[in-house]
Amino acid sequence: MDSGPWLGDRSGDKLKRRKTPVAFKKDRRRKHLHWQVTVLYRDGEKFARVYTDRKKAAAFAIRQKRSPVVKTARVDLVH
């Protein structure tokens, strides 16, 4: 029995989202997501770093955006 991405709560009036995506069920090796921070500098160079924690990736991107030599910094989910 699969209830989809939503799981019922015992109280009956609340629904909670599953903690892990359904795709993780099929591949037992994967235990976490990967987030890639891509930094593009004004001179055209690129730099990328991968994190397993979304908050750390976002903090790194924000920290990089403060620099005057950084054009853009973005966080992407790596599949």
In a domain, 10, yes or no: yes
Count structural domains, the chain: 1
**Residue 23: what pLDDT?**
60
Residue 61 CB contacts under 8 Å (≥ 6 apart), including other chains: 37, 39, 73, 74, 75
In a domain, 16, yes or no: yes
Q: Which residue would you say has higher pLDDT here, 5 or 50?
A: 50
- Rounded to two decimals, the pTM is 0.61
In a domain, 70, yes or no: yes
In a domain, 1, yes or no: no
d(CA 3, CA 16): 12
Please say whether the beta carbons of 70 and 60 come within 8 A.
no
pLDDT tens by residue, 24-73: 566 667 678 999 999 999 999 999 999 999 999 999 999 999 999 999 99
In a domain, 15, yes or no: yes
Return the sign of the alpha-carbon dihedral for residues 69, 72, 76, 78. Answer: negative
Please say whether the beta carbons of 79 and 36 come within 8 A.
no
- What is the Cα 75 distance to its own chain's centre? 8
In a domain, 54, yes or no: yes
Output the six-digit token pair for 67.
């620099």
Instruction: Determine the structural domain holding residue 34 and report its residue range.
Output: 6-78
